[in-house]
């Protein structure tokens, strides 16, 4: 038996059927594609025999031991006390047939018996439960497939990060040595080829780092802890060792929050890295603010950069759009914002952006408490 419906549920159905028939009953559910997906405990070894009772129309068969169709059926032979079969079709919301609720009773049931109305109502309940059970199984299979795909992606990212980065670094070093030691012996075109090789290898190394960071974002534990956001900001500044032309201002709030420290640290690191990468001003200014609502923490991050053109705003959190820009040689393209979005969503939160050309960029991160 596939186990799509629990034995506990089947036992409840059998009790209700027994009450409707005023006799001891056994039940089974036969699905169009899954076959016998549930049955009373005493029928567990008779799945092939049960499947023979599937019917697309309402049916009653009395005196089963002498019935021309069922007298030799294994269920009837093994349980001669069940003398009546009642078949109740199960349907989906669109009316299509999905299976049969089979009921076997120890007493004859007349076609006009009052209990049949109760059994038909019971079939509606079973049909609804069966649909939910099938949907759950399909969803579970999809989740398992996605989990396997994510595992494969993570494994690929690790291979790319460790096995490809070493030869790329060698190519970068080799290009630098060629230019340093033989640059004077080559014409301008030869030196240009060397620079192209070094630049291409550097870009590919950055792409690998971006993919690796994105794949690793899901591995950060979502375990919460209590800390002051000001302490977190100070830790980020210390870890990043920011250049002198970068200033980070933040409120020295005493309020403690309960969130994932590691994920929030990565979010701030990626945002600051983004600002430094795209901001061409001599003085880079960053401000970090905080607010609290009943069900959310809100973190405001604002810089004084060039802002984001309207045409690019929709794609700034898209990892593959950023990678495409990197490949085309766009030095302002960064993959870190995709990491920010992924981490925020992992913490049951969201990130939004307000920006405009020459107006800087403000990111708003809302996190569920």
Q: What is the pLDDT of residue 173?
A: 85
Q: Which of 64-68, 271-275, 326-330 has the lowest mean pLDDT?
A: 326-330
pLDDT digits (tens, 9 = 90+) for 15-37: 999 999 999 999 999 998 888 98
Distances from the Cα of 232 to the Cα of 192, 263, 314, angstroms:
45, 11, 29
pLDDT above 80 for 310: no
pLDDT digits (tens, 9 = 90+) for 219-239: 565 678 999 989 999 989 988
Would the CA dihedral through 337, 353, 255, 250 be positive or negative? positive
Q: What is the pLDDT of residue 333?
A: 62
Residue corresponding to tokens 């792409």: 207
Distances from the Cα of 81 to the Cα of 24, 59, 77, 302, angstroms:
10, 19, 9, 78
The whole-model pTM stands at 0.49
Across the chain, mean pLDDT equals 84
For the CA atoms of 251, 252, 256, 261, the dihedral, rounded to the nearest 10 degrees, stands at 70
pLDDT digits (tens, 9 = 90+) for 198-222: 777 776 776 666 666 666 665 565 6
Instruction: Count CB atoms within 10 A of the CB of residue 191.
Output: 16
Q: Which of 9-13, 44-48, 166-170 has the lowest mean pLDDT?
A: 166-170
* pLDDT classification of 3: cutoffs 50, 70, 90: very low
* pLDDT classification of 88: cutoffs 50, 70, 90: very high
Q: Which of 3-7, 80-84, 244-248, 269-273 has the lowest mean pLDDT?
A: 3-7
Better-scored residue on pLDDT, 5 or 325:
5
134 close to 4: Cβ distance less than 8 angstroms: yes
Q: What is the pLDDT of residue 2?
A: 42
**What would the mean pLDDT of 251-267 be, rounded to a whole number?**
86
Q: What is the pLDDT of residue 187?
A: 87
Q: Which of 50-59, 85-94, 125-134, 349-358 has the lowest mean pLDDT?
A: 125-134
pLDDT above 60 for 287: yes
């Amino acid at each position: 038996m596939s186990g799509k419906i629990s034995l506990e549920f089947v036992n409840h159905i059998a009790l209700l059927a027994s009450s409707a028939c005023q006799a001891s009953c056994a039940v089974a559910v036969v699905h169009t594609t899954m076959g016998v997906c549930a049955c009373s405990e005493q029928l567990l070894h008779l799945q092939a025999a049960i499947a023979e009772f599937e019917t697309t129309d309402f049916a009653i068969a009395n005196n089963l031991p002498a019935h021309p169709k069922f007298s030799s059926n294994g269920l009837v032979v093994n349980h001669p006390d069940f003398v009546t079969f009642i078949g109740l079709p199960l349907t989906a919301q669109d009316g299509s047939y999905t299976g049969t609720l089979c009921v076997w009773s120890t007493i004859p049931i007349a076609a006009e018996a009052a209990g049949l109305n109760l059994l038909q109502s019971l079939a509606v309940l079973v049909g609804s439960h069966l649909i939910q059970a099938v949907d759950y199984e399909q969803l579970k299979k999809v989740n398992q497939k996605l989990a396997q795909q994510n595992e494969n992606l993570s494994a690929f990212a690790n291979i790319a990060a460790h096995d490809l980065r070493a030869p790329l670094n060698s190519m970068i070093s080799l290009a630098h040595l060629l230019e340093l030691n033989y640059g004077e012996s080559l014409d301008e075109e030869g030196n240009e080829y060397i620079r192209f090789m070094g630049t291409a290898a550097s870009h590919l190394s950055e792409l690998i780092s971006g993919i690796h960071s994105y794949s690793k974002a899901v591995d950060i534990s979502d375990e919460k802890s209590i800390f002051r956001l000001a302490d977190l900001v100070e830790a980020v500044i210390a870890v990043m060792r920011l250049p002198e032309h970068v200033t980070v201002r933040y409120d020295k709030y005493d309020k403690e929050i309960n969130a994932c420290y590691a994920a929030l640290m990565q979010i701030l690191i990626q945002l600051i890295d983004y600002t430094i990468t795209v901001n061409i001003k001599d003085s880079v200014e960053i401000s970090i603010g905080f607010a609290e609502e009943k069900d959310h923490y809100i973190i405001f991050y604002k810089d004084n950069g060039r802002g984001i053109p309207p045409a690019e705003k929709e794609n700034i959190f898209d990892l593959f759009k950023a990678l495409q820009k990197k490949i085309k040689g766009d030095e302002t393209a960064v993959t870190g914002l995709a990491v920010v979005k992924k981490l925020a969503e992992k913490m049951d939160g969201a990130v939004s952006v307000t920006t405009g050309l020459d107006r800087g960029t403000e990111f708003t991160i809302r996190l569920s408490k």
